[in-house]
Amino acid sequence: MSNDVLFTIEDLEVSYGSIAAIKGISLEVRKGEIVTILGANGAGKTTTMRTISQLIKAKAGSIRFKGHELTKLPAHKIVKLGISHSPEGRRVFGVLTVEENLMLGAYSRRKVNPETLRWIYEMFPRLEERRKQLAGTLSGGEQQMLAIGRSLMSDPEMLLLDEPSLGIAPILVKAIFKQIKEISRQGVTVLLVEQNAKAALKLADRGYVLEVGRIALDGPAAELLASDKIQEAYLGKKH
Amino acid sequence: MDTFLQQLANGLTIGSMFALVALGYTMVYGVMKLINFAHGDMVAASAFVGLMVYTQILGQTASLVGVVAIFFITAAIMACIGVTLERVAYRPLRTAPRLSAVVSALGASLVIQNGIMLIWGPRMRIFPELVPQVYWHVGGVIISMMQVIILVLSLILMVALYLFIEKTRMGAAIRASSLDQDAARLMGINVDSVISLIFIIGSSLGAVGGLFIALYYRGITFDMGWQYGLYAFIAAIIGGIGNIPGAMLGGMLLGLFSAFISGYVSSTWADAFTFMLLIGILIVRPTGLLGERVAEKV
Ligand SMILES: Nc1ncnc2c1ncn2[C@@H]1O[C@H](COP(=O)(O)OP(=O)(O)OP(=O)(O)O)[C@@H](O)[C@H]1O
Ligand SMILES: [Mg+2]
């Protein structure tokens, strides 16, 4: 892990109409890190991710990636810069096949990188077996693999993962988290949103805890995992 | 048997015109989930624009090159109007409640219809006879050169559109945008450009449909977009709105159906039977013949 900061958010504010969802957060991600954003339902995790991808426009603050100010860009230009987003709820193209979904993941690079495709199929052999199957007929876990695979097809430098464990059996969550580690090992920086705090902190280098639109806590993952506050609020352990 | 074959030929001709127009409705609906009520009036406008191109630009003489030029110029003009229509009437309402866009579409329909009336007057105009009146007698059936041209060109356009949507990168962008706009944006697809492209294609195909209608029926009126638009819209629904092969199939079926009703029952009943067909199909298949129904897991 090097110390080059790849990505920063500064004093970000996001509102839905008159309701403030993000009330001034700042965070940074260094090259090669796995950083996790934790928080309860409605804390603003998905809002943060969608604002990074410019699907929602920020009200104030800045989001910078490798010297580019993202808040000034339209959503479709973000992936070209090297940030790929696997959204909450997977959002795979249900009536297209697995393979067609993966091809769309490579839309921004124009040509599919065969090595990337190979690598994705190695990580998720299930996708290769089912490449002609309609994505909407895959199981929830398989759809999550597809969503992650699709977001890797653009060969991103940074991957945004919004709750990859959502609605998935524990055994599959384990498998998926193992592959997130593998993705990271291949040099992709990862920003991971999770409610499953324990699993996320075991995987991550650092974490931020979001509480109703503000960062309540941040630090190295091991410290967060050991902190009383996290233990109580997210891991259900009482002392 | 003669009636059958004759109405088959007529039905395929009418059906291909319906199909061309229906594609405009279905493609816009597919991506924007909006019924572009102005589309029928755009089709009517293209007949008048074609007439204008013929009289003003070609000086009322038409060679083969001239006829081809009418089609290309009219399609280009209608494509520009279509893109402008989307920018002015629909884009500002993208995030507004659905009903606002519907009202805007109805308004745009009236504006175009009245625009045609103001420019070209309220009376019926006769479209020039640009295709020689050649008829062939084939086994007791009379087929005109016009019918053959309409059918063949429509089929070529539809196959080309199908291949474009299924096989090209831009086609993939259109399909992705119609399934999930935000997910499409995350793939790097410029959904605004896709929508403009949809209006270019839909308006151009509508223009070709409008010119075919003008060439086939000859009499054109400022309000004819209502009737042809409605038929094409029904065709789109029968096929499954949002589904491109569905619009083609729906158009053809509707053309054949109304031709057979006219042939075997009476043309005055064609409209009533058409609606009965629509209702019948929607009872059996609420999403239309090719309407997609794949269980999306949450
Ligand atoms: N489209 C929207 N319109 C209005 N309010 C919204 C919208 N989307 C989210 N919100 C509100 O913004 C706040 C943050 O929501 P967000 O989806 O970012 O939470 P989250 O941390 O991702 O929660 P979860 O863990 O349940 O996914 C919530 O109070 C939510 O109700
Ligand atoms: Mg969320």
Report pLDDT for B178. 94
Do the Cβ atoms of A145 and A126 come closer than 8 Å?
yes
Q: Say which of B172, B187, B294 has its CB closest to residue A94.
A: B294
- How remote is the CA of residue A44 from the centroid of ligand 1, in Å? 6
Q: In ligand 1, which atom is closest to the CA atom of A39?
A: 21
- How remote is the CA of residue A21 from the centroid of ligand 1, in Å? 7
Report pLDDT for A235. 61
pLDDT per residue as tens digits for the range B33-77: 999 999 999 999 999 999 999 999 888 777 889 999 999 999 999
- What is this model's ipTM? 0.95
Report pLDDT for B295. 38
pLDDT tens, N- to C-terminus, chain B (298 residues): 688 999 999 999 999 999 999 999 999 999 999 999 999 999 999 999 999 999 998 887 778 899 999 999 999 999 999 999 999 999 999 989 989 999 999 999 999 999 999 999 999 999 999 998 999 998 889 999 999 999 999 999 999 999 999 999 999 999 999 999 999 999 999 999 999 999 999 999 999 999 999 999 999 999 999 999 999 999 999 999 999 999 999 999 999 999 999 889 888 888 888 889 999 998 998 889 988 654 333 3
Q: What are the CA-CA distances from residue A119 to residues A57, A115, A192, B125 (Å)? A: 34, 6, 21, 65
Three-state DSSP at A201 gives helix
Q: Which residues line ligand 1 (CB under 6 A)?
A: A 16, 19, 21, 39, 41-47, 88, 195
Per-residue HEC secondary structure of chain B comes to: CHHHHHHHHHHHHHHHHHHHHHHHHHHHHHHHCCCCCCHHHHHHHHHHHHHHHHHHHCCCCCCHHHHHHHHHHHHHHHHHHHHHHHHHHHHHHCCCCHHHHHHHHHHHHHHHHHHHHHHHCCCCEECCCCCCCCEEEECCEEEEHHHHHHHHHHHHHHHHHHHHHHHCHHHHHHHHHHHCHHHHHHCCCCHHHHHHHHHHHHHHHHHHHHHHHHHHHCEECCCHHHHHHHHHHHHHHHHCCCCHHHHHHHHHHHHHHHHHHHHHCCHHHHHHHHHHHHHHHHHHCCCCCCCCCCCCCC
The whole-angstrom separation of Cα B14 and Cα B156 is 16
Q: Is the Cβ of A76 closer than 8 Å to some Cβ of chain B?
A: yes
Q: What are the CA-CA distances from residue A68 to residues A153, A206, B219 (Å)? A: 22, 23, 59
Q: Show the domains of chain A with their CATH numbers.
A: 33-56+75-234 (3.40.50.300)
Chain A residues whose CB is inside 8 A of the B183 CB are 87, 91-93
Distance from CA of B182 to the nearest CA of A (A): 7
Q: Is the Cβ of A46 closer than 8 Å to some Cβ of chain B?
A: no
Report pLDDT for B222. 96
Chain B residues whose CB is inside 8 A of the A78 CB are 186, 188
| For range A130-144, the mean pLDDT | 95
Q: What are the CA-CA distances from residue A194 to residues A137, A160, A222, B171 (Å)? A: 25, 11, 16, 35
Report pLDDT for A228. 83
Domain ranges of chain B: 16-224
